[in-house]
Chain A
C-alpha cells in the first residue's frame, strides 16, 4: 500500500517546518542570529568542509530561512532551494554558477523591466552576454543558440502584460542545445504553474510578490529541479571541476540531484553575499501559508476586472490571458488552468494623457512599483518600471506609452470595479 501524498495546500502550510527542537514552538521561530556555535573543532571542520548538515553563519544558511527553502522546493516539485535577498540576487547567483566571462545566455524579450536592465547592463560588465528571443516565436530561441550559450531564461507568466509562455516548447529547445532552462515563476507562483512539470531545470522567484503576498518583505529564491546533468561535456566547471575553495570536492559528484542548489549556496551566496534576513524569511513563510487561498481570490478578481475593462468604452484593449478572446488564452488553459494570474495591462483610447489621469483619479488602487500585494496596484510602465528602455523596446516588451498595468489584490471585486469606473468617467 502506498501512503497518501499530501496536496499543495497542506505543503504550503507544513513543508519544511516542524515544532522547534528546544522550545516546542509550533510556528517557525525567527532565528535572528548571525552565527551558530560549534560542538567542537571536529564539528566545525566538518561543517566548513561540507561534510555535515548544520549551521555556521547566516550568510550561508539559517534555520528560519531553511524552512522557507524546503517549503518552496516542495511547492515547486524541486529537490532543493536557496533563498536570497531579492529576485534580482537570485538571478545573479544562478548565472554565476553557469556562465564564465565571454559566455552567453538567451532570454525572452518579454521580462520584468528590472531583469531587462540587469541582463543588458549589469551582466555585461561581468562578461555575460544576453541574446534576446521572442517568446511568441520559438524559432527565435533556436536561432539564438551558439556554442557559448549556457542557459535559457524565460518568465512563465510574463511581465508586464501577463502573457503566457510556452514553457514546454522552449524546454525542448534548451534540451536540444544541452543547456538548462531557467523559469522566473514570480507572477504565476507554483499554485498556478509548476514549471518543473513542464521541463524547467531551475526556477527563480521574487518572493516579494505573491508568495510573500503582503508587500512587506523583499526576498528571492532559486529552486533546483534536480533534472540537469552538469557533468555532460564539462560545460559547467563550477559544478563539475574540483573546487579549490573546498579542498578539491566536485559539487555534482558529491551532492547528486541537488548539486545546483548547493553550488548556489556555497559558491554563490557565500561569496557574493546577498543573504536573506531571517525576519523576512519568517514574513514570507507566513504569507506562503495562505498562498492557495489568496491566488484563488487574486485570479477571480482579476478576471472580473478584466471583463469590466474589456466592456468599457474608454478602453482600447485589455491583455489578460484569462479572457477567452485573448491571444494567450489557449496557453493559459494549458499551463494555468486554475487562473491566469492577477497582473495584466490595458490601453486607453485617450493614450498617455488618459493613462496619467486614470492613475491620479483612482482612490483604492495604489500607484507604486510592485505587484502581487493584497492591495490592488496600478502603474504606468513606460514612465517607471520600463522607463530605461528605448521607445521601440518599450512597445516590444508590451509597455507602450498608452499602456497601464494593474496588479489585482484580494479586496472585494465590486469595490475595485467601482474605483476604476469612477476614475475612467472623470
Chain B
C-alpha cells in the first residue's frame, strides 16, 4: 500500500464496509478535532465507541467511555487513533491481540507510524495514515463541498439531503486520489528527513 497517496477506491471500500469504529483518544471537549469527528461519524450512522482511560465513567454523546480496546468486549471493525505518531505502536499492538482483530487501523491527520502500519498489514489489516475519516467521508460524499473543499469527485445524480443518521453514497466518480497531487508531494517531503 502506498501510504503517501491513497486511491479513492481504497478509502471508499473501508468507509462503505466498516460499521463499528473505536476511537482511541476521543475527547469529550467539544473544541477538539476528535470530538468533531466522533460526532460526525455517529451522525452518519457508524456505531462509535470512545476509548480514553482518562474519561472512564463519563460518556460521549451517550456512548460510555472505555479505558482500552480490550474493554470494548465485542468485535469492532475499525480502530481510529487520535494520538500523536509516537503513541501509535502500543495501540496497534493491543488491537492485534483482540479476537477477532479489527479489519482496519486508521491514524488521524498528522499521525503516521510506518512500522506500526507494516505490523498491522502483515496481520492482514488495512491501514490508513495521516487522514481524517470525517474529512474523507465528507469528501467522497461531497458533503464537504459546502465549505468550498475540492471533493475530487463528480456526480450527475441528484444530490441527497442529509438528515440525522443518514448514510450517504460514497460512490461518486473520482477525479483523483485522496488529496491533490501537490499536497501529497508536500506531505511526502515533510515526512522525509531533509
Contacts and interface: CB of A to CB of B under 8 A. Distances in A.
Q: Are A and B part of the same complex?
A: yes
Interface in B54-80: none
A6 B154 contact: yes
B172 to A, nearest CB: 8
Interface in B63-118: 109-110
A370 interface: no
B142 interface: yes
B11 to A, nearest CB: 13
A5 B176 contact: yes
B31 A82 contact: no
Given A6-B173, A74-B150, A79-B183, A49 B31 contact: yes
A227 B190 CA distance: 10
Contact of A61 (B30, B147, B152, B158): B147
A405 interface: no
A66 B110 contact: no
Interface stretch (B14-22, B33-41, B120-128): B33-41
> On chain B, which size bracket covers the interface?
35 or more
A21 B160 contact: yes
Nearest to B146: A53
A3 B9 contact: yes
Nearest to A243: B31
A53 B158 contact: no
A216 B134 CA distance: 39
Contacts of A262: 147
Interface in A245-265: 246-249, 253-258, 261-262, 265
A52 B147 CA distance: 10
A125 interface: no
> On chain A, which size bracket covers the interface?
35 or more
Interface in A30-83: 39, 46, 49-55, 61, 63, 65-67, 69-70, 73-74, 77-83
Contacts of A256: 109-110, 132, 135
Nearest to A226: B183
B185 interface: yes
B146 A63 contact: yes
Contacts of B159: 18-21
B158 to A, nearest CB: 4
Given A6-B175, A21-B160, A248-B31, A225 B146 contact: no
Nearest to A19: B158
Interface centre among A19, A52, A247, A262 (most CB of B within 10 A): A52
Contact of B181 (A20, A77, A82, A255): A77
Interface string B125-165: 00000001001001000111111111110111111110010
Contact of A257 (B33, B142, B148, B183): B183
A249 B31 contact: yes
A399 interface: no
A22 B161 contact: yes
A269 B185 CA distance: 29
B24 interface: no
A309 B55 CA distance: 76
Nearest to A74: B150
B175 A247 contact: no
A5 B132 CA distance: 23
Contacts of A54: 146
B81 to A, nearest CB: 15
A53 B161 CA distance: 12
Nearest to B185: A227
A70 B145 contact: yes
A54 B185 CA distance: 30
B158 A18 contact: yes
B52 interface: no
Contact of B147 (A66, A248, A253): A66
Nearest to A80: B149
A6 B40 CA distance: 30
A14 interface: yes
Contacts of B176: 5
B150 A73 contact: yes
Contact of B148 (A11, A51, A61): A61
A46 B39 contact: yes
B182 A226 contact: yes
A24 interface: yes
B179 interface: yes
B166 interface: no
B151 to A, nearest CB: 6
29 contacts: A3-B9, A3-B173, A3-B174, A14-B156, A16-B145, A22-B161, A49-B30, A51-B40, A52-B40, A52-B43, A53-B138, A61-B147, A63-B146, A70-B151, A74-B150, A78-B180, A79-B149, A81-B148, A197-B181, A226-B186, A227-B185, A227-B186, A229-B186, A247-B30, A255-B135, A256-B110, A261-B147, A265-B147, A265-B148
6 residue pairs, one from A and one from B, having the closest CB atoms:
A69-B148, A226-B183, A73-B150, A227-B186, A21-B159, A80-B149
